Amino acid sequence: METIASRPLSLTKTPFHYCPGCLHGVAHRLIAEAVDENGLRNVMTGIAPVGCSVFAYKFFDFDMAEAAHGRAPAVATGIKRARPEMHVFTYQGDGDLAAIGTAEIIHAANRGEHISVFFVNNAIYGMTGGQMAPTTLPEMKTTTSPYGRKVDDMGHPIRMCELMATLVAPYYIERVSLLSPADIIKAKKAVAKAIKYNKEERGFTFVEIISTCPTNWGIDPIKARDWAKDNMLPFFKPNCFRDRGEGVE
């Protein structure tokens, strides 16, 4: 019989088919482990919108729903309010959550909806061809900023955790990364805490996960992690911005 140590029960047996070096699989496993450890597999629903996150329904072995691009928080809100006995999370990328979905995430957070949001930030649109995202760094090259992001023309990158922290309602906000084994251990704790608070109906919880996109960055997986450590972490600094369960404001 399979155990959580070999494969979380909340993951299907479908092999991950993300690009080499992509860290979505690591994020999936951390969420699945947290769901199993909190005994929520039979009462959990995940919402996957458009983007690489759209594949999540193939890998999570509990109820999943698809949402239009950026609309995952609205769908999650509807499910949680219609079925309050269920526990709901969204799994979103930066192009989805911080661009077309900005209004959805801000207002769901501002209402303090009883959902968890896992926000995977790799500073680029992954699925649709490597376009500039709201989180793309200054001077970073993408298919729509081939000479680099010029902030005077294209605006500055958005720091979503810092933006969320200006709102009164959210219960827990933290930014973590998946760029090293030590980082993954810290990320596991953050994901587990968000799911625990979800189980306890504490309110809106938000975990930003710094990741990589070797394919659209045009570099190999090892160099992608090094690049993210050198460039993304100084700008998107891992930090606990709010944890009312621990008295952090």
Assign residue 68 the CATH number of its domain. 3.40.50.970
Residue 126: its pLDDT value, please?
85
Instruction: For residues 224 and 180, give the distance between their C-alpha atoms in angstroms, rounded to a whole number.
Output: 12
Does 51 reside within a domain? yes
Instruction: For residues 14 and 56, give the distance between their C-alpha atoms in angstroms, rounded to a whole number.
Output: 11
Instruction: For residues 155 and 213, give the distance between their C-alpha atoms in angstroms, rounded to a whole number.
Output: 22
Residue 3: its pLDDT value, please?
45
Return the bridge partners of 145, or none.
142
Residue 130: its pLDDT value, please?
86
Does 10 reside within a domain? no
Does 189 reside within a domain? yes
Does 35 reside within a domain? yes
Write out the residue range of the structural domain in which residue 85 sits. Answer: 24-243
Nearest to 58 by CA among 117, 93, 18: 18
Residue 4: its pLDDT value, please?
47
Q: For the chain, how big is the Rg over CA atoms in Å?
A: 17
Q: What is the pLDDT of residues 61-95, one digit of tens each?
A: 999 999 999 999 999 999 999 999 999 999 999 98
Instruction: For residues 187 and 123, give the distance between their C-alpha atoms in angstroms, rounded to a whole number.
Output: 18
Would you tell me how many other CB atoms lie within 10 Å of the CB of residue 150? 11
Residue 129: its pLDDT value, please?
85
In the predicted model, what is the mean pLDDT of the chain? 95
Residue 140: its pLDDT value, please?
95
Q: What is the pLDDT of residues 228-243, one digit of tens each?
A: 999 999 999 999 999 9
Give the pLDDT band of residue 5 (cuts 50, 70, 90): low
The residue ranking higher by pLDDT, 148 or 249, is: 148
Reply yes or no on whether the pLDDT at 55 is more than 50: yes
Q: What is the pLDDT of residues 37-47, one digit of tens each?
A: 999 999 999 99
Does 17 reside within a domain? no
Percent of the chain's residues with pLDDT above 70: 98
95-to-48, 130, 152, 204 alpha-carbon distances in Å: 13, 10, 20, 21
Does 158 reside within a domain? yes
Reply yes or no on whether the pLDDT at 170 is more than 90: yes
Residues 6+ apart with CB under 8 A from 114: 80, 84, 88, 198, 201, 202, 203, 204
Instruction: For residues 201 and 18, give the distance between their C-alpha atoms in angstroms, rounded to a whole number.
Output: 32
Look at the chain and report how many structural domains it folds into: 1
Does 82 reside within a domain? yes
Residue 98: its pLDDT value, please?
95
Instruction: For residues 27 and 147, give the distance between their C-alpha atoms in angstroms, rounded to a whole number.
Output: 31
Percent of the chain's residues with pLDDT above 90: 92
Q: What is the pLDDT of residues 18-27, one digit of tens each?
A: 999 999 999 9
Q: What is the pLDDT of residues 122-133, one digit of tens each?
A: 999 988 888 999
Does 218 reside within a domain? yes
Q: What is the pLDDT of residues 186-216, one digit of tens each?
A: 999 999 999 999 999 999 999 999 999 999 9
Q: Is the pTM of this model over 0.85?
A: yes
